[in-house]
Structure 1
């Protein structure tokens, strides 16, 4: 059995069409197999998208670049080629809440999946809680593979909660393992100057930044919140969102 379920399902309609248009045998078989391959690809993409644990599915076509003029659209289009994944480089989106950081991260993940690249999405809080629990249950190595195996790991919303020393250490272990092995897309509402507070230790924050920024692409978004723009237009929200300060220069890396 070849398992050509879709080809079998469309065979009768294709035979009727062939009787009218009289294609060659080769063209008929190509058309039949194309129908089978299309369904298999759609099934593959659906499965991979499900396994990626994306919180929603939005592509770059859905992103309103005109609302965020601080973003260089050409840079985002270049990132969508996924060349950075081949280089095991990272992408870091910085900006206040609601400016589209997660949207862009998810859009790049979807593009990666369509190109056959494994991707996995997790919030920073879920990540450290999962690793901390696995460490306590003596299964950290096994659980860590969930986050080290995909070629592309998306870590969302770093900075909303301060990490404990144990959580900061686990985060550092993950970043260190993926360094020059796999790419990370990370979103944060905190400038690099504030990462010492996020990780509870300026030393470990610098060590993490050192590895993340060595091969990286930085997108600093300084616009308004998408979620508030309609309320602002209606006059229901007048206070401007807090601007994210410009990030500091990456820390020097020892040669």
Structure 2
């Protein structure tokens, strides 16, 4: 064994202790962590007087050294990237055939080094829970994942991941969305049922507000959201709500959230929701080819039995719609979910109550009272993405005055119809004043100033006028 210079210098410090008899070779080997033969070679035999020099030509190159820059780049993107994920991506994306253990051993050295360079100290939290097993097709577990601002650079402020896992096989489903509302939640269910090819007998939820209408004390019956009950009845599955603060009751899907985050999202950049969904679909075959550490079978083979036991899908899908009452504004716009939608001006009035029925992709507005034909539908719009948008059909504003069509006249106006003309004796002086051109032709009586002086009392009446009034 050839020591590197640092270990050689460390071992040389024990030569004096060995020659004086203060320490034995066994004690020195235990202290330095070296093999006893190596210690004997350098302390008893003819040891070199200078530390050995390791040349690049004499050093045996490892296979992992060729892909070390790739591994380091992955770790700089996500320091907690797992060895299995790196090994998987090296084979799938770069065509590198390397032993998994070599990658794992290299990470033991590379991860602390890169973490120190980035100023990160990775940690891991472990917990304990009781394990349980189910029969094929009996149960699925559902959970949300918050993926944060992964698409903020394209104007999408928040992205969420919906997860459903079949409990028997651990076969996964995931899709990404920009909202956690009722319509999006159950639309993700429909996608999961199509992905699995059927419906499980029971689905396990935590106390999410799209399933549980309100929280109650322990031991009391949990009130469910009416649309959730209707959806479960249509697809023929039972709703199982966990007790409060029991996340391990759906540990299979909790674990899947982390697996998808590590294997699909970590260290990658995306530009759309569709691109994220495509990345998950491309990863599913790799996941199904794995041997699961708990049940010891290939996930895909066990999933075949799981899928065969699922209940069939109904012929028609159930479209979940949120229903809300909102007032119509003076601008014929209705506010919902921080966005504005237009309604026909000729069919509504200000402050009128209308009903909003919102699905994941569509907003329909209905009157609370049917018209003469028995219909209530006022307008249909595509659902806006984000907040602060205005979705307007310009035809809804037909007949409303605009702010850009005001006119100011300073000269003669156009002649009015004959029955509205104020000109002439029959028009009268008051009506003539309503028209500027006519007002210019009105004769104004002229009086001497003495008349106004006598009325205001500023000058005494003349003798002639006083005599005339007294007579």
Q: Which one has the largest radius of gyration?
A: 2
Shorter-chain TM-score bucket reads under 0.3
Normalised TM-score (structure 1)? 0.26
Greater RCO (CA < 8 Å, at least 6 residues apart)? 1
Larger % of helix: which?
Answer: 1
Normalised TM-score (structure 2)? 0.17
